[in-house]
């Protein structure tokens, strides 16, 4: 049913099930089309650029490789390793190209990478990176890691019936799952879901998802509610876990690799046992992100120093091919691809030798945020109430099932995160290019 203005307001109840299914099918269709249609990917990139500038006061550029592959980068910014910067010849070359060092927000990154800025276009910086790589130095532009390489708002989350009220409150001493994402809705839900998740409105731990500022037009922003949805998936699978949300993705659901790396470090230093990254991108030269690599080195040092087991889980992406998506493709990260609701390989999911496991990624049911969808993102918009639930599709929603299940096994067996993942992986069915297929939450 619709309101007089045409905005969908599907009420909770059995008679809306058909509409719900239709919207999930539309999501899957959009994922499949966008993964293989360059025009749609360019359109998504255009939508992201203006929104990121509005939130971060920095521009994003599209970098096109000779093979036609495109990646998003932060304008005028380049990253090198500390070793590269310490080399007299490399530094002289960089300074001759007009690059100057700029401060990094994360102290733990300062001894590992150096952020540089110059008044140069992406193609000029790409030439600089290529020359450094030819000389044996590690460098890259500051690449953008969106909440997915394909924007999942195209097709729209589907308003869904409520989930049963949470049965038990999370334990403060239970396993700690950190969700690095778009943030969380500021107001607590009246139904009790995600009530234990801390909200921070200021400072480096600020984690509120504004929902409607790009533009402030009365409609949900692109990728608004993504972090709330992911956190709800974790809470369903691991009701005893402590869930925290860390905001690294800004306008349009994207953040730079430096933003994401800093959030990973904050989460781990705050005691996270499992870190969920429902974000990622392919990269220039198919090389790993230097900033995230530095953050993962920090994770390993914390593990060794404190005797902890910390597991990082990441979405494999929705590109529909085997090209590695970072940070999922790091060997020390658990890469999660998507299955259909019937437990078959989802053709729109990224996949390949670098994928570790997979879970259902079509029509996943979780918590959402209040607000109205815009016709800009979906042909059949919904109006979501204060205690909204939705169904959404993407590897973004397969990954937190694995993160949550690891936490649940930690609580059940009193074991560390890596041991819990090994136990979980042993329950899966081998599936070529999709790792071990796991049964955790159902889809639609």
Q: Catalytic residue numbers?
A: 181, 226, 396
Q: Which residue has the higher pLDDT, 316 or 41?
A: 316
- Asked if the model's pLDDT at residue 1 lies above 50, the reply is no
Out of 54-58, 73-77, 172-176, 311-315, least confident range = 54-58
Residues 428 and 64: their CA atoms lie apart, in Å, by 38
Q: Give 157's contacts (C-beta < 8 A, 6+ positions apart).
A: 23, 27, 225, 229, 368, 373, 382, 390, 391, 392
Q: How far apart (Å, rounded) are the C-alpha atoms in residues 402 and 379?
A: 32
Both structure tokens of 228: 């709330």
Same fold, 39-143 and 158-437: no
Query: 83 pLDDT exceeds 90?
Result: yes
The tens digit of pLDDT for each residue in 7-45 reads 444 444 444 889 899 999 988 988 887 766 666 666 666
Average pLDDT over residues 393-401: 97
Q: What is the pLDDT of residue 45?
A: 66
- What is residue 149's predicted lDDT score, i.e. its pLDDT? 42
Does residue 325 surpass a pLDDT of 70?
yes
**pLDDT reported for residue 354:** 98
d(CA 346, CA 416): 31
Report the C-alpha gap between 352 and 347 in whole angstroms. Answer: 12
Hey, CA dihedral for 304, 306, 309, 313, is it positive or negative? negative
The pTM of the full predicted model, rounded to 2 decimals, is 0.93
pLDDT reported for residue 5? 41
**pLDDT at 173 (0 to 100):** 78
Residue-range domain boundaries for the chain: 39-143, 158-437
User: In this structure, are strands 436-437 and 429-430 parallel, antiparallel, or unpaired?
Assistant: antiparallel
**Confidence band (pLDDT; 50, 70, 90) for 53?**
low
Residue 51 has pLDDT above 70, yes or no: no
How does the average pLDDT of the chain come out, rounded? 89
- Placement of tokens 């102290």 in the chain: 107
Predicted confidence at residue 436, as pLDDT, reads: 98
Tell me: pLDDT of 108 over 90. Answer: no
For the domain spanning 39-143, the CATH number is 3.30.70
Higher pLDDT among residues 114 and 219, named by residue: 114
Determine the distance from the C-alpha atom of residue 323 to the mean position of all C-alpha atoms in its chain, rounded to a whole number.
Answer: 17
pLDDT number for residue 54? 55
Average pLDDT of span 148-163: 71
Question: What is 158-437's CATH number, 3.40.50.200, 2.60.120.260, 3.30.1490.20, 3.40.50.720?
Answer: 3.40.50.200
């Amino acid at each position: 049913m619709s309101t007089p203005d045409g905005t969908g307001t599907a009420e909770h109840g059995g008679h809306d099930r058909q509409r719900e299914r239709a919207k999930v099918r539309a999501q899957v269709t959009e994922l499949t089309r966008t993964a293989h249609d360059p025009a749609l990917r360019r359109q998504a990139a255009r939508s992201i650029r203006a929104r990121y500038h509005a939130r971060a006061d920095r521009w994003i550029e599209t970098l096109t490789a000779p093979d036609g592959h495109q990646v998003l980068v932060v304008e005028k910014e380049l990253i090198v390793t500390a070793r590269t910067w310490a080399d007299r010849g490399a530094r002289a070359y960089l300074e001759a190209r007009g690059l100057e060092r700029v401060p990094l927000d994360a102290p733990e990154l300062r001894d590992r990478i150096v952020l540089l800025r110059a008044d140069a276009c992406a193609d000029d910086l790409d030439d600089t990176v290529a020359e450094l790589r030819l000389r044996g130095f590690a460098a890259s532009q500051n690449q953008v890691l969106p909440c997915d390489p394909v924007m999942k708002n195209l097709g729209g989350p589907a308003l869904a019936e409520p989930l049963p009220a949470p049965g038990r409150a999370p334990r403060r001493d239970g396993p700690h799952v950190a969700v690095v994402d778009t943030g969380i809705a500021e107001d607590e839900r009246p139904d009790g879901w995600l009530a234990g998740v801390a909200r921070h409105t200021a400072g480096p731990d600020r984690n509120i998802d504004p929902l409607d500022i790009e533009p402030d037009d009365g409609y949900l922003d692109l990728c608004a509610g993504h972090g709330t949805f992911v956190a709800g998936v974790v809470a369903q699978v691991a009701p005893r876990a402590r869930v925290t949300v860390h905001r690294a993705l800004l306008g349009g659901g994207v953040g730079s690799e430096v933003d994401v790396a800093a959030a990973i470090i904050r989460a781990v230093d705050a005691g996270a046992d499992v870190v969920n990254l429902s974000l990622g991108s392919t990269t220039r030269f198919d090389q790993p992100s230097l900033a995230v690599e530095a953050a993962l080195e920090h994770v390993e040092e914390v593990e060794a120093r404190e005797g902890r087991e910390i597991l990082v889980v990441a979405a494999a992406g929705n590109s529909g091919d085997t090209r590695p998506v970072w940070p999922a493709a790091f060997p020390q990260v658990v890469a999660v691809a998507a299955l259909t609701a019937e437990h078959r390989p989802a053709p729109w999911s990224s996949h390949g030798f670098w994928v570790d496991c997979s879970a259902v990624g079509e029509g996943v049911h979780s918590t959402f945020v209040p607000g109205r969808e815009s016709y800009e993102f979906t042909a059949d918009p919904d109006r979501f109430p204060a205690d909204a639930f939705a169904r959404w599709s993407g590897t973004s929603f397969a990954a937190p099932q694995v993160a949550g299940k690891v936490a649940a096994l930690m609580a059940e067996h009193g074991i560390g995160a890596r041991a819990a993942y090994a136990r979980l992986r042993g329950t899966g069915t081998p599936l070529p290019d999709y790792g071990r297929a796991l049964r955790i939450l159902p889809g639609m």
